[in-house]
Amino acid sequence: MLGLCARASWPRLADLTRMWDSLTELVTRCDLPRGGSAGTLLHTLQAATVSARGHLRRSTTMTTDALQRNISFLRAQLQSWPLPDLFPRLARLLVAVGEPVTVHQVATAGGWTQEQVQAALARHPRVDFDEDGRIAGFGLTLHPTPHSFSFDGHTVYGFCASDALEFAVILDRPGRIESTCPATGQPIRVEVTPSEVLTVDPPDAVVSTVRPTQAVTDIRAYCDLCNFFSSPDAATDWLAQNPQGQIATVADDFAITRQTIIEVGWVTP
């Protein structure tokens, strides 16, 4: 539904930094004979250091920008919502109860009146309800979607890929995300804890996002654009159709999502 600021302590950025430093040192100290293949090798290594450094700078800039846009968007969205912390409270309640909940249950859990909950839900198009009118989900849902999150023998679902990534943070539980690339049909699996992504299969999988900076009426319209793709190449057509969108590595999108949740006060780091 959202959908860490870039720091040197990030494992991925730190690894890139070390890689660049190592390549720079190798080029500086290289004592190969001049000419022929040695010159080609030296040129290749020099090009590699420039490329790695440029990638690091672009990654840092893009990640920082995406984080700020995400925080701005969610803060604007929360200002327009009658109950700003409805989403995390409802998510935890659905997991605790294990089935759809009534307005009365939500009101009791959040310390609100039923009228407040009803008014808040009325502001959110496409909240999931069951046949009895109970609430089945908003962001986190009990109704199957392409993005599942399994933990402790339970499975819940996200409206979008970023939703699935944030569940470990909001619920404070490690788990496994399963999705499918909409372009290739390839299964995607992510092992995640409340603080980090452990594994991604396939390793090149990315997350597509559109990050508005102002509040929107139908949040799920943007959720529909947020998916896991098996690789950047698999997301090429999506980017062509959504020029305002971005793709990010799974680890980066998780970090952006996690820090955004912390910044708006939904969890304590």
- Domain residues for the domain of 127 are 55-263
Q: What is the pLDDT of residue 30?
A: 53
CB 208 within 8 A of CB 227: yes
Q: What is the pLDDT of residue 174?
A: 98
Beta-sheet strands, E only, within the chain = 128-129, 135-138, 140-141, 147-151, 154-158, 175-180, 187-192, 197-201, 206-209, 228-229, 246-249
Instruction: Give the number of C-alpha atoms closer than 13 A to the C-alpha of residue 178, restricted to the C-beta side.
Output: 7
Helix-strand-coil percent breakdown of the chain, rounded to 5? 50, 15, 35
Q: What is the pLDDT of residue 223?
A: 81
Q: How far is CA 37 from the centre of its chain?
A: 44
The answer to whether residue 163 is catalytic is: yes
Is 160 within a domain? yes
What's the rounded Cα separation, in Å, for the pair 95 and 140? 9
Q: What is the pLDDT of residue 259?
A: 86
Q: What is the pLDDT of residue 148?
A: 98
Strand, helix or coil for residue 207: strand
CA torsion 100-104-106-111 (nearest 10°) is -170
The answer to whether residue 181 is catalytic is: no
Closest by CA position to 196, among listed 9, 2, 3, 1: 9
Q: What is the pLDDT of residue 66?
A: 65
Q: What domain count does the chain have?
A: 1
Q: Which CATH number covers residue 101?
A: 3.30.450.410
Q: What is the pLDDT of residue 58?
A: 38
Q: What is the pLDDT of residue 177?
A: 98
Is 252 within a domain? yes
Which pTM does this prediction carry?
0.72
Q: Name the active-site residue from 160, 181, 252, 253.
A: 160
Q: Name the active-site residue from 223, 226, 252, 253.
A: 223
pLDDT average per 10 residues of sequence, the chain (269 residues) = 40 48 55 49 46 39 60 62 83 96 96 93 86 94 97 94 94 97 98 97 94 67 88 95 90 88 82
Q: Name the active-site residue from 163, 181, 252, 253.
A: 163
The answer to whether residue 223 is catalytic is: yes
Ramachandran angles phi, psi of 179, nearest 5°: -150, -175
> Which residue is it, tokens 């909950």?
117
Q: What is the pLDDT of residue 37?
A: 45
